[in-house]
A and B are shown apart, each in its own frame.
Chain A
Amino acid sequence: MIIVHPLLGPRDSAEFTYLGDASLIDRPDWQSETAASEFYEYQYLRENPAGLHRELWFHEAGDRSWLVVTRDTTTHEITTVEMARDVARARGRSK
């Protein structure tokens, strides 16, 4: 698979390591009343869709940036690649 890095252009997916569903960006609030069950869901449960999947890839053998890649899990076709920090900031995270 070729991942078109927003800064570096097309890169071989072998340069990356994979973390999983991009929902991992949305870390629950540890001070919430229901933190224990929210962290359980955050940590262990997954949508695991057959089709479009937004997922976190780390450019380990490159610029060490985190990317959010939108990929079809039934064909491996990649449609969008974003910088994870942009995605996180757009969702209200500080970094």
Chain B
Amino acid sequence: MRYSGLKILKESLTGHKGWKPAWRSPEPQAKYDIIIIGGGGHGLATAYYLAKEFKQKRIAVLEKGWVGGGNVGRNTTIIRSNYLLDGNEPFYEFSLKLWENLEQDLNFNAMISQRGILNLIHSDAQRDAFTRRGNAMILNGADAEMLSTAQIKKRYPFLNTEDARFPIKGGLAQHRGGTVRHDAVAWGYARGADLLGVDIIQNCEVTGFKVENGKCLGVDTSRGFIGANKVGCAVAGSSGRLMSKVDMRLPMESHVLQAFVSEGLKPVLPGVITFGAGHFYCSQSDKGGLVFGGDIDGYNSYAQRGNLPVVEDVCEGGMAIFPMMGRVRLLRSWGGLMDMSMDGSPIIDRTHIDGLYFNGGWCYGGFKATPASGFAYAHLLATDTPHKTATAYRFDRFEKGRMIDEKGMGAQPNLH
């Protein structure tokens, strides 16, 4: 069923009786060509592009809970392509271009809003670093503009530009960045994949792999064994847990990241603002709530909830830069599992086991990557070669000394 304005009109005149479930709930078959583990944004996008772009058949997505219950439904919805390094920037710019056409492609309203993102600058050294970053973005076909304090004051009069510790000296803006309705991304890809024949199987947890003679033959699940020619893992924060079933130790740790939303306000904040020095970033949702967050809690966790010191730290960061937030009440806070890699960059690669593939290490920045990650992973699964924008996302980069260390933090996952 295609969605359209005409369809809404027709349904509203006929009592909305014609709407159908957006995807089927099939029973798992005994065997598939390709199984994707994890019905988050990346897993669903992978299945969609496998079917659509790479003409693969007999594909299933196995999700232990429900579609959209993981990080794809917990993040702060920011999309951008303001990266510096060669291994990253072409990939994230490819992703942003896919976002720009995603709703037409999926025939699904994901409320993609290119309202712009602004990274604040507080010192001369930071201005130099951001100028370099902006240039790298432009060289890779992205957009970037350095804004002066006066321009920032005009657009965001409520910002505290005179903070004694971190006065605002300018900013790096990417006007094509913005926000997306995160749940709609999961639903849109799920529906799109389902329409192309992909089986989306919820409440189906993968508990182990069947590996014989170095080849993966399928997966054990809470709903029985399911055979496959190829198995692609895309479970984000649960990567360590899943890959331990084949005794793989990964270059990553699982951490918790919290996010917050305030009561609804009238439109006050046009665009996304990041205050890196104080570990705070914020946007305003279409419902009016201020959506904000900061750093990860900083210790290994699979608990999907964080602790109070980070709540305090994030709110202090907010008050330093947005004093107008002081009287706004917090509505909700929550946490998600972060697959924090050792250099802060992801992995899309084969494993040492034939037919077993891995996608993970997205840290707290994998939402924006969803379309490109799905596309590149589908490319790898279908052709056994990396997509041209994802050639650097290999397991062996740590051993070979080819880290993609955007932040220059070294092998310290809790600092990325």
Binding site for B on A (CB under 8 A): 1, 12-14, 17-18, 20-21, 37, 40-41, 43-50, 53, 55, 71, 73-76
Contacts and interface: CB of A to CB of B under 8 A. Distances in A.
A9 to B, nearest CB: 19
B250 A45 contact: yes
B253 A48 contact: yes
Interface residues of B, number: 24
5 contacts: A46-B240, A50-B238, A50-B254, A75-B303, A76-B303
Contacts of B250: 45-46, 48
Contacts of A44: 251, 342, 398-399, 411
Interface of B: 238, 240-241, 244, 249-254, 298-303, 307, 309, 342, 398-399, 411, 413-414
A71 B256 CA distance: 15
Given A40-B398, A44-B398, A18 B251 contact: no
SS of A interface (majority): mixed
Nearest to A39: B399
Contacts of A43: 342, 398, 411
B358 to A, nearest CB: 14
Nearest to A77: B303
A46 to B, nearest CB: 5
Nearest to B249: A45
Contacts of A40: 398-399
Contacts of B399: 37, 40, 44
Contacts of A49: 240-241, 244
A74 B238 CA distance: 12
A18 B249 contact: no
B299 A18 contact: yes
A12 B312 CA distance: 14
Nearest to B413: A20
Contacts of A53: 300
A74 B302 contact: yes
B301 A47 contact: no
A58 to B, nearest CB: 12
Contact of B309 (A13, A37, A47, A74): A13
A76 B307 contact: yes
A50 B302 contact: yes
Contacts of A46: 240, 249-253
B401 to A, nearest CB: 9
Nearest to A48: B240
A12 B308 CA distance: 11
Q: What 5 A-B pairs have minimum CB-CB distances, sorted nearest first?
A: A48-B240, A45-B249, A14-B309, A44-B251, A50-B302
A75 B299 CA distance: 12
Nearest to A55: B300
A48 B254 contact: yes
A75 to B, nearest CB: 6
A64 to B, nearest CB: 18
